[in-house]
Structure 1
């Protein structure tokens, strides 16, 4: 089994799982359906294509930089009739950074790696209005599962965000993974993709378990004392018995 790691960063991201109609919300981290859609587009697959091989991939995501939630109002007109459409309320994550990992058959992961390096359709972070900041490819790992890869992946937050935490040698990051079989039961999320067909999109339920992982901060700087600061000299503990034990033995006095 191989794992493909992806850095998902950009000015705006939006990862909806239950968003419908005029209110389009976003989850706090990339959804499996959103990442699978990104990979399917990179491969050049049509929306009506079979997704069973991609949907079977194991998936996990780490929140390296949570970002800020934004709300926007959008207007639109019908493409055919020109009639004004209802005002929609849309939510985004600004300045967020995530590391996602998918695991599966070696050959499939190899083809996905090639696709994200030279995608047929450009990748987007949940919506077409949300392009990535730069290359999303972090490479492949062999013989590991997604959680293990994310526990060992370097911190991918922006430099200015890492600098804010320069006093911490380790930073604690949330990690979301899938619960399968007899594993712990987490939060139920409807983001397991079954079909991206515009006429009949379908998603199944998926259990998501939330944990944390500690990763080194590359910008950690130990606290330094200001120049000219005089450190107090430690005072030894008072122990008069020690002086008595160091006296040389004396001869007894005459007559005693």
Structure 2
């Protein structure tokens, strides 16, 4: 098994899977449709091009730094009538960091790695207003996606790590294996990105964890006996 690992970091990210009308929500972790769209853009695929090979990749993502949920208000003017359109609410994750993994054929993953290094179209993390803070330096590992996410170093900032405990569990959201009990079904499998005929299918996911020791922790261990005068 081979996996391509993609670090995702930006001042703002937004990964919607159920946005409707004037409310544009974001999930707490990247969606499969968002990552497939990013990979397709790196390769230079148009929205009307086939994406079945990308959608068939096994997907998993680890939350290394959850960030903060932010809400923005936006409006627009209809240039034809001069009237204001309804106020929209858009949600973002500020200062979040994720490690995404896609698992599949070696030749496809190698091509994706090269495309991410020299993308054809501009890349963004969920929305066009959310470019990555650095070039996406993806790398390949000869392991399954879940094995990689449980072993790859934690990529959170030093400031964030210092605020955490000496032992941390990083959340992982991954594709469920056949016959495995599922935790949630998400409608984020892209069937077509065609603007005139966008389609998404359902994906069964499982929640997992990656355990890490955190030597940078500055969190003090509480002394529960102190109020009683104990040592």
TM-score, length of structure 2 as denominator length: 0.90
Match of 1:202 among 193, 199, 202: 199
The answer for the alignment partner of 1:164 in structure 2 is 163
**1:174 aligns to 2:171 (yes or no):** yes
**1:111 aligns to 2:108 (yes or no):** no
The answer for the alignment partner of 1:192 in structure 2 is 189
Unpaired runs of 5+ residues, structure 1, are: 224-256
The answer for the alignment partner of 1:150 in structure 2 is 149
The answer for the alignment partner of 2:212 in structure 1 is 215
Shift of residue 217 of structure 1? 2.7
The answer for the alignment partner of 2:90 in structure 1 is 90
Please tell me whether the aligned partners of residues 116 and 138 of structure 2 are also in contact (alpha carbons under 8 angstroms).
Answer: no
Shift of residue 88 of structure 1? 0.8
Q: Structure 1's 9 and 108: CA in aligned 2 closer, same or farther, altered over 3 A?
A: same
Which aligned pairs between 1:230-241 and structure 2 lie closer than 5 A? none
Alignment size in residue pairs = 220
Shift of residue 149 of structure 1? 0.5
Shift of residue 73 of structure 1? 0.6
Deviations 1:185-243 (A, max 9, x none): 120100011010011110001111112110233535798xxxxxxxxxxxxxxxxxxxx
TM-score, length of structure 1 as denominator length: 0.81
CA–CA separation in structure 1 for the residues paired with 2:136 and 2:79: 33
Q: Structure 1's 121 and 189: CA in aligned 2 closer, same or farther, altered over 3 A?
A: same
**1:128 aligns to 2:128 (yes or no):** yes
Please tell me whether the aligned partners of residues 74 and 90 of structure 1 are also in contact (alpha carbons under 8 angstroms).
Answer: yes
Shift of residue 76 of structure 1? 1.4
| C-alpha RMSD of the superposition | 1.8
Which aligned pairs between 1:19-34 and structure 2 lie closer than 5 A? 19-34=19-34
The answer for the alignment partner of 1:60 in structure 2 is 60
Stretches (4+) displaced over 3 A: 78-83, 220-223
CA–CA separation in structure 2 for the residues paired with 1:218 and 1:123: 34
The answer for the alignment partner of 1:4 in structure 2 is 4
CA–CA separation in structure 1 for the residues paired with 2:118 and 2:83: 39
SS in 2 for 1:137: coil
CA–CA separation in structure 2 for the residues paired with 1:77 and 1:11: 27
CA–CA separation in structure 1 for the residues paired with 2:81 and 2:195: 20
Please tell me whether the aligned partners of residues 155 and 216 of structure 1 are also in contact (alpha carbons under 8 angstroms).
Answer: no
Please tell me whether the aligned partners of residues 154 and 216 of structure 1 are also in contact (alpha carbons under 8 angstroms).
Answer: no
Unpaired runs of 5+ residues, structure 2, are: 221-231
